[in-house]
Amino acid sequence: MAAKESSKSSEAYPMKGGDGLYSYTKNSYYQREIANAAKGLINEAIAEELDFKISPSSNTFRIADLGCSVGPNTFFSVQNIVEAVELKYQSQGLNSRVPEFQVFFNDHALNDFNTLFTSLPPDRRYYAAGVPGSFYGRLFPDESLFFVHSSFALHWLSKVPEEVVDKSSPAWNKGRIYYSNAADEVAKAYSTQYAEDMECFFHARAQEIVCGGLIVLIVPGRPNGTPHSHVISNRTYDLVGSCLMDMAKKGLVSEEKVDSFNIPIYNASPQELEAAIDRNGCFSIEMMASLPPVKSTSPTPPSGHALSMHMRAALEGLIKEHFGHGILDELFDSYAKKFDASPIMGPGTVLVALLKRKATG
Amino acid sequence: MAAKESSKSSEAYPMKGGDGLYSYTKNSYYQREIANAAKGLINEAIAEELDFKISPSSNTFRIADLGCSVGPNTFFSVQNIVEAVELKYQSQGLNSRVPEFQVFFNDHALNDFNTLFTSLPPDRRYYAAGVPGSFYGRLFPDESLFFVHSSFALHWLSKVPEEVVDKSSPAWNKGRIYYSNAADEVAKAYSTQYAEDMECFFHARAQEIVCGGLIVLIVPGRPNGTPHSHVISNRTYDLVGSCLMDMAKKGLVSEEKVDSFNIPIYNASPQELEAAIDRNGCFSIEMMASLPPVKSTSPTPPSGHALSMHMRAALEGLIKEHFGHGILDELFDSYAKKFDASPIMGPGTVLVALLKRKATG
């Protein structure tokens, strides 16, 4: 049971903790905007799809946010779900049956849970718990969850595909750190890893979620048919690779170090996500959509500096572990300059999927 | 619901985090010995008192350890409970009905959950979650727990009684930092605070624990009828006060600073604990005992140095907050010397209580 399944090998890539200048807390406006845009869709999903038969006899409605990071976006999303469920009960005249809520904030054990816990909203209307571990393995008891939310987390693979760092493989990703501008074999290795990870993800969730329970997934994605190299967010990773190769040419990092570094992120297409859900077979797709481009409400302009800060919050841990702390400032300074010299334009593509756990048997 | 009750004012006194020289992780041998001594009692309690009727339809057996600190003792205690429950099912030929376990590790939000989560036993047979917050308020949904364990936590009051730092009160605790060698009014203020805290504790647990569910409490205590000033662990706190007053006389800290500092710990007698349980009315006392003196298995001899390290692990955060970091080394050095010059002898008194949630109505 728990031990075996949750010990599945999976690397941890925590977002930058604390609340300092480069922290995820202070550099996740984009994710917040998306959460805001997804709010309407989630409200609608709960109003239309939430089935009262799943209400537990114990009157506790259990919610999990998978890959929650350190906040504040997770608190915003969770609060929205709680309010939408309360509203649904009230609109049906079931005020006296409004459940208690228990919310499980999940991320890797190396996530900064200390920051998460000390910044929990004091006026929250739910019991809070933190759950450490990879969402590619089991995290919760059988049939214990009613609503699973995951935003900007499922594009992180459980690990870098082994072939892309294997010099003897045709998928060896020399001189690059990502698949989108690389040989087809590299992209194939990434998409295969994605498919394997999704198999683990849906297998675990199928056991944990009650029949009728809902999953909302929000992931950066690739429009069907669009080449990897045209996807905006892929190009922002390629730019990191280009900066690293510049530094290698200047002798600031070894080229071999760059060759052995790859970003374990995959931006899947709706078709790829659908295929994974179909292979699992336990969930029906109630809705899948691309979010409309979000209007920026960030207090900083969308400059190279702003994007560089955003990328640093997400990637600093990964880069530091491989290259050491010394290269960070130089890398992200040159990133900002390169971006300003040749901006990557256009809105991000974000997939939202609403899934329902089918009845078994 | 959750928000209001869990926002009850309560101070946080986390044990020293991390795993450094003065950490709780490395300086909690005594608590471990006690946990070991309590193991037999807990096994017996589960074998005799655990009622299969409480088995949930969902087949998840939920356990909470309240005031878990950072480990490793909490892992030891929880593992023991899980094994005892499994054994009970197996001994009754109910192997196929052995439940899944979900364990909630609770402590204040300022507890070092990052250390706790990264040191979870990899081979654990339970789903783990951390729950931040004071156990003097609500932490869990209604009727969601089957077994509550709390070891060396419930002697921490929710706060220092206000009167003892009020210069105009007869309970003003001038020149002392604890009640056991102080005026009767001081001891009365402490015992009143204890009674209020226990009222909150049992009120919250009565809602959270299913009928038939068990609580095991392990607390340092005072034998009925023994004066506060004779209790061994009280004398170890009085010694801290004496060292602080020495430092005040040397001008190393201000006397006023010492006057305004008090340790929010109360070592209650079995009678006081029983009275609190009776006032609440929702729990039956299945067993209450003093643990026999434990034989030391600590790798360090019971020297002034060892005790000083133990006290520092527990009190460092509290003292640092009030006096600043600068006094810690001097204070605990002088503590070790004073203890060696005049050791405090005799075993600690530890109370173990087993309570069962009564049926309602």
Contacts of B174 (CB under 8 A, 6+ apart): B259
User: CB A3 to CB B57 under 8 A?
Assistant: no
Question: In chain A, which residues have pLDDT < 50?
Answer: 1-9, 296-301, 347
Instruction: Say if the Cβ atoms of A143 and B7 lie within 8 Å.
Output: no
Mutate which of A9, A69, A127, A144 to test chain B, going by most B C-beta atoms within 10 A?
A127
Q: In total, how many domains does chain B have?
A: 1
Residue of A nearest to B60 (CA): A141
Contact between B286 and B237 (Cβ < 8 Å)? no
B43-73 pLDDT, tens per residue?
A: 888 888 887 665 555 689 999 999 999 888 8
> Do the Cβ atoms of A41 and A352 come closer than 8 Å?
yes
Range of lowest pLDDT (B91-95, B147-151, B257-261): B91-95
Q: Which of A3, A56, A110 sits opposite B118 (nearest CB)?
A: A110
Residues from chain A contacting residue B129 (CB–CB below 8 Å):
104, 129-131
> Count of residues for chain A?
361
User: How many pairs of residues across A and B have Cβ atoms under 8 Å apart?
Assistant: 117
Q: What is the pLDDT of residue B7?
A: 36
Quote the ipTM score.
Answer: 0.89
Query: Which amino acid makes up residue B348?
Result: G
- Sort out which chain B residues have CB atoms less than 8 A from A58's CB and list them: 56, 141-144
Closest Cα of chain A to B127: distance in Å?
6
Interface of B with A (CB under 8 A): 1-3, 6-7, 56-60, 100-102, 104, 109-110, 112-114, 117-118, 120, 122-133, 138-144
Nearest CA in chain B to A59: B142
Dihedral through CA A121, CA A125, CA A127, CA A131, nearest 10? -50
Angle formed at CA B56 by CA B54 and CA B62, multiple of 5 degrees: 90
The pLDDT of B326-333, averaged and rounded, is: 95
Distance CA B297, CA B278 (A): 37
pLDDT: which is higher, B12 or A7: B12
Residues A276-318: pLDDT tens digits?
Answer: 999 999 999 999 988 765 554 444 446 889 889 889 988 999 9
- String of DSSP letters for A105-131: EEE-TTS-HHHHHHTS-TT-SSEEEEE
* Contacts with A7 from chain B: Cβ below 8 Å: 122-123
Chain A residues with at least one Cβ partner in B under 8 Å: 1-3, 6-7, 56-60, 100-102, 104, 109-110, 112-114, 117-118, 120, 122-133, 138-144
Q: What is the pLDDT of residues B165-224, one digit of tens each?
A: 999 999 999 999 999 999 999 999 999 999 999 999 999 999 999 999 999 999 999 989
DSSP assignment of A42-68: HHHHHHHH--GGG--TT-EEEEEEET-
Distance from C-alpha of B224 to C-alpha of B270, rounded to nearest angstrom: 6
Q: What is the pTM of this model?
A: 0.90
Reply yes or no on whether the pLDDT at B28 is more than 80. Answer: no
Distance from the Cα of B308 to chain A's closest Cα (Å) equals 28
Residue range(s) defining the domain that contains residue A88: 2-357
Find, among B280, B156, B127, the residue nearest to B209 by Cα.
B280
Please give the Cα distance from A100 to A255 (Å, whole number). Answer: 55
Give the CATH number of the domain where residue B49 resides: 3.40.50.150
Of A153-167, B145-159, B304-318, the one with minimum mean pLDDT is: B304-318
Among the listed residues A87, A78, A195, the one whose alpha carbon sits nearest the alpha carbon of residue A146: A78
CB spacing of A100 vs B141 below 8 angstroms: yes
Q: Which of A10, A58, A123 to mutate to test the interface with B (most CBs of B within 10 A)?
A: A58
Contact between B113 and A114 using a beta-carbon 8 Å cutoff: yes
Asked if B58's CB is within 8 angstroms of A126's CB, the reply is no
Mean of pLDDT values over B84-104: 90
Chosen from B127, B134, B139 to mutate, greatest number of chain A CBs within 10 A: B127
Nearest residue on chain A to B61, judged by CA atoms? A141
